[in-house]
Amino acid sequence: MGRGGGHRGIRGSAALGTRPLDPAAVAAERLEPGEMRRVPFEGELLGAVRVRAGFAAIPLDAFDRACERLDAEAQAAYLHLLRLSVAEGRNFCRVTKREFGARLRLSERRLLGVLDALVAAGFARPLHRDNRGTLWRVYLPAEAAGEHVGEGVLMGRPARLRVAEAARATQTPTPTSTSTATSPAAVASDPASLARALARVRGRADGDGFEEALREVRELLAEGQRPERIAVAIESLRARGAGGAARAAAGGAP
C-alpha cells in the first residue's frame, strides 16, 4: 500500500476466509439467552456475560433507531448524552464543552457541528449555560419522533401543580364554608370531571390542557388514590391560587 492510502483490511480478518454455511459451527451461538455458560472457540471462551452493577438502563431503540438519522460521530455524542442523563435517571444533563470534547476526542469546532446535528434531528436541546457547562434536555428516539415513549419507560409526572403530593397528604375531604358551583371539590368524582376541574385550576381548559390533566388524574387513580381525595387536592390548589400562592403552586414549591 502506498503512502497515498488505499484499501486497508481489518487486522486478522483476511485469514478467516468465508466458510460454508453451517449454523451449528459455533456452539456459543446455540446458547439460550441468559444461559450462563461459555464454550471454547478459536482460543476464546464465548458465551454469557451479565453486568450486575455500574450499568446504564438505556432503551435499545437509542441504538437501533438513532443510527437511522445520525452519522457515526453524532451517534457517539448522543450515547454520551444518554449516559449522562437517562443512565442517571433523568432527561437532562449538564456538561462542559471541554468534558464533552474529551469524551469524544473531538476539537471544539467539530464538536459544535456534531451537537448542532443532534439538535437539528430533535435528539437534544440546549436550555441553559453557566460556568458549569450547558444544560441539555435529552430526548429518547420516540420523543424525537413525536411518539409516546411506551410502557417500558417511566417518565416523571409534571410537578407544575403537585396534585399527587396534595392528594397523598389529604386524609379526608374537608367541607368548605363557601359554596361555589365551580369549586373542584364539589365536582363529580369521575376522571373526566376531575380533569376538567384540574385544567380550570391550571388556567388551561383547552383540549391539550384537559388531555394532560386527564392523564394525570388517571395515573393517580391507578396508584390507588380515591377520587374524593384528588378532588380535595384540586380544591386545595385552587384555594392556594386564590390566596395569592398560585405562582408557588405552578412553579413547583417544595
pLDDT at 132: 93
Judge whether residue 2 has pLDDT over 60: no
Collapsed DSSP state (helix, strand, coil) of residue 130? strand
239 exposure class (CB count in 10 Å sphere: 0-12, 13-18, 19+):
middle
Each residue of 88-135: pLDDT tens digit?
999 999 999 999 999 999 999 999 999 999 999 999 999 999 999 999
What does the mean pLDDT of the chain come to? 80
pTM over 0.95: no
pLDDT at residue 175 is higher than 70: no
| 236 pLDDT higher than 90 | no
Spatial contact of 115 and 78, defined as CB atoms under 8 Å apart: no
Dump the DSSP string for 200-230.
HHHT--SHHHHHHHHHHHHHHHHTT--HHHH
Question: 3-state class of 93 per DSSP?
Answer: strand
Query: Who wins on pLDDT, 101 or 230?
Result: 101
- Burial status of residue 127 (CB atoms within 10 A of its CB: 0-12, 13-18, 19 or more): exposed
197 and 234 Cβ atoms separated by less than 8 Å: yes
Going from the N-terminus, what domains does the chain have, and what CATH number goes with each? 61-144 (1.10.10.10), 163-251 (no CATH)
pLDDT score, position 40: 93
Residue with cell 439460550: 32
Of 46-55, 208-217, 242-251, which gets the smallest average pLDDT? 242-251
